[in-house]
Amino acid sequence: MREFRSLEVKVVNNDLEKAMKILKKKIQNDGLFRRLKLKKSYEKPSEYRRRKRRESERRYKIARLKSSRG
């Protein structure tokens, strides 16, 4: 089963604007917006494979850059 993590933001001194900004950042980092956008419409299997390959290449490239720096 999938593990569901809850996103939690505490409002300090009734500063709702700051709390909303933090929540939006957390949602963006979690990838929720991207998943919702992908589920909005049908994705052809060929497009799915192409997108997955590009994402994999991007992750590999970033990991390679990080390992070469350190």
Per-residue pLDDT of 7-35, as tens digits, reads 788 999 999 999 999 999 988 888 888 88
CB burial string 45-61: b at 16+ within 10 A, e below: eeeeeeeeeeeeeeeee
Given this model, what pLDDT does residue 54 score? 95
Of 14-18, 34-38, 57-61, give the lowest mean pLDDT range: 34-38
Residue 70 pLDDT grade (very low, low, confident, very high; cuts 50, 70, 90): low
Distances (CA, A) of 46 to 8, 40, 42, 60: 37, 17, 12, 21
Euclidean distance between the first and the last CA atom of the chain, given in angstroms as a whole number:
36
Nearest to 20 by CA among 33, 28, 11, 31: 11
In this predicted structure, the answer to whether residue 64 has a pLDDT above a threshold of 90 is: yes
Q: Tell me: pLDDT of 44 over 90.
A: yes
